Chain A
């Protein structure tokens, strides 16, 4: 099993390859560590770590493997963390349905994407049947 956590720039971004449930724990930890640098509160850190867990699990469940990119972002007023979850799995044919609460094709709780969207300030999902999925979310510090 190969596991890579490449520190592109130790302060700004981390890339975690997701292919097993142990990578999920690594991704969560990497996200929490990075968000700590941005000065997020402890409850926001837990929210971010939980969101990363849901996004990473979607990759394993639906696409077998993929990648989570984490980076710190800044605007005029504050800083935040951007999480990009990418895979080249089967894709999502009905995006509307996938981000509405209570829907899941993997027998899960069906609140992964809907829950993540709810807690993030920005949520973007690009996917089509057969061409993989890319979920980009951003959480700004209050």
Chain B
């Protein structure tokens, strides 16, 4: 299932709608990395509110996505990790390393605006 990617001014917003397969995650990563260039975006928000599981593969792919976007000159913020998902990730030792996260879409946009104004 393809994840819709919305362009809003100089940000891209990808809102995951339902459980994704590994392949879907890889496609999302590649689509965002490409679109950041096409739209000359400064920031990317990945909204995972709808996900009930973030396992090691999903986390690794989100982390790779954030690093690749960074190498393309933009910032990524993951928003909407649910409390149960956060609990499971901590229990299983799954991390997003130093990838930026925010509570929800609104906080994510504020975060990117702040990054923009300080760089």
Shortest distance in angstroms between A122's beta carbon and chain B's nearest beta carbon? Answer: 16
Residues of B within 8 A of A53 (CB): 53, 55, 57
Contact assessment for B56 and A21 in the assembled complex, using a CB-CB cutoff below 8 Å: no
B117 at the interface (CB under 8 A from A): no
Given contacts A28-B53, A32-B52, A111-B56, contact A45 B92 (CB under 8 A): no
Contact with A along B61-96 (1 / 0, CB 8 A): 000000000000000000000111101110111100
Q: How many residues of A contact B (CB 8 A)?
A: 28
How far is it, in angstroms, between the C-alpha of A24 and the C-alpha of B25 when the chains are bound?
13
A70 at the interface (CB under 8 A from B): no
By CB atoms of chain A within 10 A, which of B84, B89, B92, B93 has the most?
B92
Shortest distance in angstroms between B94's beta carbon and chain A's nearest beta carbon? Answer: 7
A129 at the interface (CB under 8 A from B): no
Segment of B5-13, B15-23, B38-46, B105-113 engaged in the interface with chain A: B15-23
How far is it, in angstroms, between the C-alpha of A111 and the C-alpha of B92 when the chains are bound?
8
Residues of B within 8 A of A32 (CB): 52
B60 at the interface (CB under 8 A from A): yes
Residues of A within 8 A of B54 (CB): 50
Interface majority SS on A: helix, strand, loop or mixed? helix
Shortest distance in angstroms between B113's beta carbon and chain A's nearest beta carbon? Answer: 32
How far is it, in angstroms, between the C-alpha of A68 and the C-alpha of B60 when the chains are bound?
23
Shortest distance in angstroms between B97's beta carbon and chain A's nearest beta carbon? Answer: 11
Contact assessment for A115 and B87 in the assembled complex, using a CB-CB cutoff below 8 Å: no
Contact assessment for B92 and A51 in the assembled complex, using a CB-CB cutoff below 8 Å: yes
Residues of A within 8 A of B94 (CB): 50, 109, 111, 115
Residues of A within 8 A of B55 (CB): 50, 53-54, 57
Residue of B nearest to A115 (CB): B92
Given contacts A43-B83, A43-B84, A108-B60, contact A25 B19 (CB under 8 A): yes
Q: List 18 A-B contacts (CB under 8 A).
A: A21-B22, A21-B23, A43-B87, A43-B88, A46-B84, A49-B53, A50-B54, A50-B88, A53-B53, A54-B92, A57-B22, A109-B56, A109-B59, A109-B94, A111-B93, A115-B56, A116-B92, A119-B88
Using CB atoms and an 8 Å cutoff, list the residues of chain B in contact with chain A. 19-23, 52-57, 59-60, 82-85, 87-89, 91-94
